[in-house]
Structure 1
C-alpha cells in the first residue's frame, strides 16, 4: 500500500499532538494532585465528586449553625444556672427576714441585701449576647425585656418567640429560651386561682389549693370566702362571680370545698369574721414574687399579723414554683446543647465518609502518574525522533 508524503506527515503530526496532550494531562494531574480536573476526564466520577463536594459544603454550613447555637445556648444555660443560685439565696433571705426575733432595722438590712440580689437577677434576665442583642427577649432582641413600670411592677416587653437554627437536614433547634418561659410563666402552686388575704384576718390559715376540675360548670371570676359565726360554730359562705351565695355549715378545714367545678383546700384555723378572695391566675412570675417579697420585708408588720404570715407562706410557695420554672428553662437549654453535640458528632462522621469517597474518586496516585508520565514522554520522544529521521529522507541521497 502506498502512503503519500502528506498522509504520512498528517498521521505522524496527529500522533505527536496526542502524545503531547496525554503528557500535558498527566502534568496537570501532578500539579493539582487530582486525577479528575474536568468533567471530560471522567463524566460519571465528576458527577459523584460534585455531589459529594456540595454535601460537604452543606455539612460545613450546618456545623457553623451548630457552633453559633452552642455559643448562645451555652451562655443561656450558664445565666439560668446563676439565676437558680441567686433565687435560692433570695429565698433564704426571705426566710431570714421573716424571723420574728429580728428588729425592724435588722429586717431592713435583709431587705437591702435582697434588693441587691433582685437587681442582679434583673441584670441576668436582661443579658445581652456577643452581638448586643437581648438573650431572653424572644424574637424582640433589640427590646429591653424586663423593666419596672410606673407602679413598681416588673413587666416583660419581649415575646414568646424561639429563634430556630437549621442544624441538619429537616432538623431545627431553638437557640434561645424566651424570657416569659424562664422567668414569668411558672405554674401557680395553688392551681388556677390566686389568693388575696385581707388585713382583717385574725385566724391562722392558708389556702393550699384552688384548682378547676370541671370546666363545663365552672364560672370564672372573683370568689369571696367569708367565715361567719353560727351559734358557736363557723360556717363558710362563698359568693361566686354572679353574686350567688353558697353556705358550707360547720366548716371543717380537713375537707376540701367544691363550688362551680372548682376545689378549694384551706389549711389552718380561720376565725369568725375572716375573709379572703380568689381570682383567676394560672401562672406566677418569679420576678414579681421576689419584688413582692421585698415589699413584704419592708413592711413594719411583716411577721406580726396573721395576714402577713399567710402571705409569707404563699410567697415561699411561689418562689419554689418560680425556681422550678427557671430550672426547667435551664433544662431546655441543656437538652438542646446535648442534642447539638450528638448532631455535631454525626456531621463529623458524615464528613469523614464523604471525604474518603472523594479521595477515592479524585485523589491522584503519584507513583502511577509518574510512571505513566515517563511512558508518555518516552513514546513522545520516540515518535518525534522517528518522524525527524523519516521526514529528512530524500531519493537524492541515494543517487
Structure 2
C-alpha cells in the first residue's frame, strides 16, 4: 500500500488535533470540578443531575419557609409568655383589690397599675416581626390589628392563618390571628356565669362556680330569686320553677348539672342570673375589672356589688390565662413540627447533594492522571511529526 505525503500530513495533523481536543476537555473538567460539563458529556447523568438539582432547590425553599415559620413562632411564643405574666399580675392585683383591708383610694391605685398593664398588653397584641408585619392580624398583616376607640379596643384584623409549606407533604401555620388569642375567650368558668342583679339590696356575693355533669347542662338561661324566710327558687326563661330550696350562706346550689355558692345575706327580692358563657375579649375583661375597682364603696351593699364584679373578673382572668396557655401549647407543637421537618429536610438535602455529586462531580486523581497521559501523548505526536516531516530521499544521496 502506498501512502502519499499529503495524506500522511493530514492524518498527523488530525491526530494532534484530537489529542489537543481531549486535553482541552480534561483541562475544562479540572477547572470546573465537574465530570459532566455539558449534557453531551453524559446525557443520562446530565438529565438525572438536573432532576436532582430541581429537587434540591425545592428542599432549600422548604428550609427557607421553615426558618420564616420558626422565627415568627418563636416571636409569638415570647409575646405570649410576656402576656401571660401580665395577666397573672393582673390577677394578683385583683385578689389584692378584693381584700377587705383596701379602701377606695388604695383600690384606685391598683386600678391605675391595671391600666398600665392593659396598655402593655395592647402593645403586645400589636407586635410586629422583623419585616414590620403584625403578628396577630391574620391575613391583614400590614395593618394594625388592635385599635383603641371610644367603645374600647376593636380588632381590625381577620381570622386568617398563613400556612407555609415546609416539606413535600407538610404545611405549618406560622401564627394565630388576634381574634383567637385576645378575643375569643369564654366568660366565667368557660361553661356558664352567675351574676348578681345590679338592683340587689342585700350583701350576697357569688363565689365558686363549677360543673357537676356537663351532659345535664342545657345552656338555658336561669334566674335564682330569693324569697321570704331564706328560701329561693330557680326559674327558667318562661318563669317556670324548676328547683327550690332553703338558702344557707356558703352552701352549694345545684341545678341542671351545674353548681355555685352564694355567701352573705341576700334580701327578699334579690336575684342572680345564670347565663351560658360567651366569648369576651381580653381588653373587655380588663376594662370591667378596672371599672369594678374604681367603684366607690360607701356601705355593705356597695361592697357586695363590687365583690361580685371582682369575683366575675377573677373567673374571666382565669379563662384569659387558659387561653394564653392553649395558644402557647399550639405554638410549641408547631415549633416541634418545624424542628422535626428541618431535620428531615437536612437529611434530604444531604442525600440529594451526594447523589448529584456522584453523577457529575470529577474524580480529580483520575482526571489528573488522564491529563498527564494526554499531555505525553500530544507531545509524542508533535515530536513524531517534526521528526518524520523532515525525512527525504535526498538525505541519503
> Shared fold (TM-score greater than 0.5)?
yes
Shift of 1:254: 3.9
Q: In the alignment, is residue 287 of structure 1 matched against residue 288 of structure 2?
A: no
Q: Is the 8 A contact 2:196 2:205 kept in 1?
A: no
Q: In the alignment, is residue 174 of structure 1 matched against residue 173 of structure 2?
A: yes
**Distance (Å, rounded) in 1 between the aligned partners of 2:104 and 2:191:** 35
Q: In the alignment, is residue 311 of structure 1 matched against residue 305 of structure 2?
A: no
Partner of 2:135: helix, strand, or coil? coil
Shift of 1:200: 3.0
Shift of 1:245: 2.3
Q: In the alignment, is residue 130 of structure 1 matched against residue 127 of structure 2?
A: no
- String of CA shifts for 1:89-132, please: whole Å, max 9, x gaps: 11111111122211211111111111111111111111122222
Deviates more, 1:321-330 or 1:196-205: 196-205
Q: Is the 8 A contact 1:235 1:247 kept in 2?
A: no
Match of 2:328 among 327, 330, 351: 330
Counterpart of 2:268?
A: 272
Q: Is the 8 A contact 1:195 1:207 kept in 2?
A: no
User: Where does 1:73-222 land on structure 2 (aligned, <5 Å)?
Assistant: 73-151=73-151, 153-201=152-200, 202=202, 203-206=204-207, 208-209=209-210, 213=215
Counterpart of 2:240?
A: 245
RMSD (Å) for aligned C-alpha atoms? 2.6
**Distance (Å, rounded) in 2 between the aligned partners of 1:298 and 1:23:** 92
Cα 1:324–1:191 change in 2 (3 A) is closer
- Structure 2 unmatched ranges of 5 or more: none
Q: Is the 8 A contact 1:191 1:209 kept in 2?
A: no
Q: Is the 8 A contact 2:253 2:259 kept in 1?
A: yes
**Distance (Å, rounded) in 2 between the aligned partners of 1:249 and 1:56:** 73
- String of CA shifts for 1:251-307, please: whole Å, max 9, x gaps: 57645223xxxx443322555312123444333333221221111111113984323
Partner of 1:102: helix, strand, or coil? coil
Q: Is the 8 A contact 1:225 1:238 kept in 2?
A: yes
**Distance (Å, rounded) in 1 between the aligned partners of 2:104 and 2:252:** 36
Aligned length, in residue pairs: 387
Deviates more, 1:334-343 or 1:266-275: 266-275
Deviates more, 1:205-214 or 1:83-92: 205-214
Q: Is the 8 A contact 1:19 1:379 kept in 2?
A: yes
Cα 1:24–1:247 change in 2 (3 A) is closer
**Distance (Å, rounded) in 1 between the aligned partners of 2:46 and 2:242:** 87
**Distance (Å, rounded) in 1 between the aligned partners of 2:365 and 2:171:** 46
Shift of 1:224: 3.7
**Distance (Å, rounded) in 2 between the aligned partners of 1:38 and 1:108:** 80
**Distance (Å, rounded) in 2 between the aligned partners of 1:118 and 1:390:** 100
Q: Is the 8 A contact 1:165 1:173 kept in 2?
A: yes
Partner of 2:289: helix, strand, or coil? helix
- String of CA shifts for 1:360-399, please: whole Å, max 9, x gaps: 3333232322221121111112222223333444445456
- String of CA shifts for 1:338-362, please: whole Å, max 9, x gaps: 2222222222222223322233333
4+ long deviations beyond 6 Å: none
Partner of 1:186: helix, strand, or coil? coil
Partner of 1:40: helix, strand, or coil? helix
Cα 1:66–1:237 change in 2 (3 A) is closer
**Distance (Å, rounded) in 2 between the aligned partners of 1:13 and 1:107:** 106
**Distance (Å, rounded) in 2 between the aligned partners of 1:265 and 1:293:** 24
Q: Is the 8 A contact 1:204 1:310 kept in 2?
A: yes
- String of CA shifts for 1:154-185, please: whole Å, max 9, x gaps: 32222221111111112111111211221222
Q: Is the 8 A contact 1:190 1:209 kept in 2?
A: yes
- Structure 1 unmatched ranges of 5 or more: none
**Distance (Å, rounded) in 2 between the aligned partners of 1:205 and 1:195:** 7
User: Where does 1:1-20 land on structure 2 (aligned, <5 Å)?
Assistant: 1-20=1-20
- String of CA shifts for 1:220-250, please: whole Å, max 9, x gaps: 6x54432333xx352414141xx35235233
- TM-score, normalization by structure 2: 0.88
